[in-house]
Structure 1
């Protein structure tokens, strides 16, 4: 009993120390004018502590709680006018989703050619979909789950570290599609918001949909907001706290053993991620020449990052949050629902067959 109590106390102290480190890093990043300070500051700090062998411990369930707060905040960006505008932008959103498939195939070919990864491992490690969804699809087709999970985690972190700084340097903050004005919060309004978010969350959990902690609140709050319900704005500390928890969770993945597990595979994966960033940026800039949408918003919509991280970036930098959310949701649905079918087409590519034949001869 005493041993268990001491272990619980030790765990609680490590969690408190990690939260304190993350909070201090977020405050310093905010004071320094960093983009996404309450996400990037904790991410850097917790990752550095983890790589140094300090073994930081994040709050159990903290990532889910952070996703809930971010999902609620993102849902508030919708309104009847915004939904009507998004309907007019269906073609660019669909084109961005198809672009993500092409980018994923290019990255998969790099992994397949320059590493010993199987086609399933290479394909689902490179596909810029939801990390958990890609891991499940890879597992069903005999892929190396650990490698896919590592590559997907690396993708999300690299993109969230590169894109905000790049946008801040080249474009600065925007004023496109600001969130609708919200009334002052009252207990009844906050209760309605929480009930909507938790109701949609429970439904998605029951349907076994991944990312329910983000997509549930986003769907529940977004639906009410799109119907014109007078939902209140969330307190800034809640949104910043959600980013802190999410950044800490991302940073905790990078311990000393992360890069030692499969260094060549992760090295090529990093190269594929860099190429994906360049290709997505080129595609977004090309699309911006043909549609009446701001290039920075399209860059965020096309970026091969996670839906939470890119949507938060759009919210903080004031670049077409609903468009970015819609584009990443379309990509997520396409790659999750059609991932198996796209994988079969990938296997039929002549270059994939040629690599398989060469491996069999060797």
Structure 2
């Protein structure tokens, strides 16, 4: 049964990737992920039995997305260098401002949901907080919020961000992408030494995942793998004065886009939106306002610093670590900077906001009981 399910889900991913291939023909570097999301979402709504069992409501298995994150982690880890560390040292104040602003915008978006829906304070805030599709519904269940509403709004926002921010960034930086794509095409030839270094990267990323999981880092396959590979690259650079000449095919980023796109799109189903039209509409409007505010703040930050507009936009975008990491890699933005800001924000959100929401919820309940008495 498990073997048949594996074959069915692999077929789902392959069919969904056709949408990615078609969109990639436009020359859009992020087309593989966007096209796959659209195709996977359409299949999930249609739900043909030979591609997606009707009993499956959570989409394809999570390990497909983990494989994509694992590949991304290795890609990103190889890009971490002294220049990235220097960027943090030069702009740490800006990074703190970005984290604070994105958190404030999330709270305002939550107030919008609270005002125009019948959801509770806890549900509204958790729905609007950009902590990730995998993390926030789980936190909602622990804190007694409406997990269905949180899942719907989180999914709606991630799809909106992933389908708009990359397009916006692509057309904004299309000249740079074309200019840099020729340099990106250079790949280390396959040899016994380069293949050995590839195995070292795979092993280091795997160890990094386990350390990240132990430390409870968000998206450990991506973040832990990136930190593990970055540590290996840094140590090697200090010892030899250069990076490991590992054989790493550029098609890996395409595979990561397909796996992440299929994983996101497969979560859509009709049951999610049944009887939740008002929540969907308000959630969509709040997400649109959040995206517009993000773009405005990214523009201001790019004017004040030497951080590019695309990098600032992707770092602030409330679309998830893996999704923004993929976009930053394909658009040749400062991917390590984007992931670092995204990770710091998620850590801040998951560490402090649930506790804050719980305290606020208790205060609201006390006032309600007091007025009733």
Please indicate the TM-score interval, normalised by the length of the shorter structure. 0.7 to 0.9
The reply to whether residue 334 of structure 1 matches residue 348 of structure 2 is yes
Could you say if the C-alpha distance between residues 255 and 221 of structure 1 is closer, same or farther in structure 2, counting changes exceeding 3 Å?
same
Match of 2:287 in 1: 273
Decide which moves more: 46-55 or 102-111. Answer: 46-55
Secondary structure in 1 matching 2:273: coil
Q: How does 1:165-244 map to 2 (within 5 A)?
A: 165-174=167-176, 183-184=188-189, 186-227=194-235, 228=237, 229-230=243-244, 232=246, 234-244=248-258
Query: For residues 8 and 194 of structure 1, what CA distance do their matches in structure 2 show?
Result: 25
Could you say if the C-alpha distance between residues 81 and 233 of structure 1 is closer, same or farther in structure 2, counting changes exceeding 3 Å?
farther
After TM superposition, what 4+ stretches of structure 1 lie above 4 angstroms from structure 2?
Answer: 175-179, 181-185, 344-348
1:37 to partner: Cα distance: 1.9
Secondary structure in 1 matching 2:304: coil
Which of 9, 14, 38 aligns to 1:15? It is 9
Query: For residues 252 and 160 of structure 2, what CA distance do their matches in structure 1 show?
Result: 25
1:63 to partner: Cα distance: 1.1
Match of 1:36 in 2: 30
Which of 111, 116, 119 aligns to 1:117? It is 119
Kept after mapping to 1: 8 A contact 2:187/2:249: no
TM-score under structure 2 normalisation? 0.84
Query: For residues 299 and 290 of structure 2, what CA distance do their matches in structure 1 show?
Result: 14
Query: For residues 188 and 93 of structure 2, what CA distance do their matches in structure 1 show?
Result: 34
Query: For residues 13 and 175 of structure 2, what CA distance do their matches in structure 1 show?
Result: 29
Match of 2:56 in 1: none
The reply to whether residue 296 of structure 1 matches residue 310 of structure 2 is yes
1:18 to partner: Cα distance: 1.2
Q: Residue by residue, what CA displacement relative to the aligned partner does 1:60-109 show, whole Å, maximum 9, x if unpaired?
A: 62111111111111111111232223221211111111111111111110
Match of 1:316 in 2: 330
Match of 1:137 in 2: 139
Secondary structure in 1 matching 2:115: helix
Kept after mapping to 2: 8 A contact 1:38/1:240: yes
Kept after mapping to 2: 8 A contact 1:182/1:230: no
Query: For residues 238 and 322 of structure 1, what CA distance do their matches in structure 2 show?
Result: 17
Kept after mapping to 2: 8 A contact 1:67/1:242: yes
Decide which moves more: 246-255 or 139-148. Answer: 139-148
Query: For residues 231 and 262 of structure 1, what CA distance do their matches in structure 2 show?
Result: 52
Query: For residues 121 and 251 of structure 2, what CA distance do their matches in structure 1 show?
Result: 44
Query: For residues 173 and 357 of structure 1, what CA distance do their matches in structure 2 show?
Result: 57
Secondary structure in 2 matching 1:257: helix
Which of 102, 106, 109 aligns to 1:107? It is 109
Match of 2:301 in 1: 287
Secondary structure in 2 matching 1:129: coil
Match of 1:153 in 2: 155
Decide which moves more: 25-34 or 88-97. Answer: 25-34
Decide which moves more: 160-169 or 232-241. Answer: 232-241
Aligned pairs, number = 350
Could you say if the C-alpha distance between residues 88 and 39 of structure 1 is closer, same or farther in structure 2, counting changes exceeding 3 Å?
same
Could you say if the C-alpha distance between residues 289 and 257 of structure 1 is closer, same or farther in structure 2, counting changes exceeding 3 Å?
same
1:192 to partner: Cα distance: 1.1
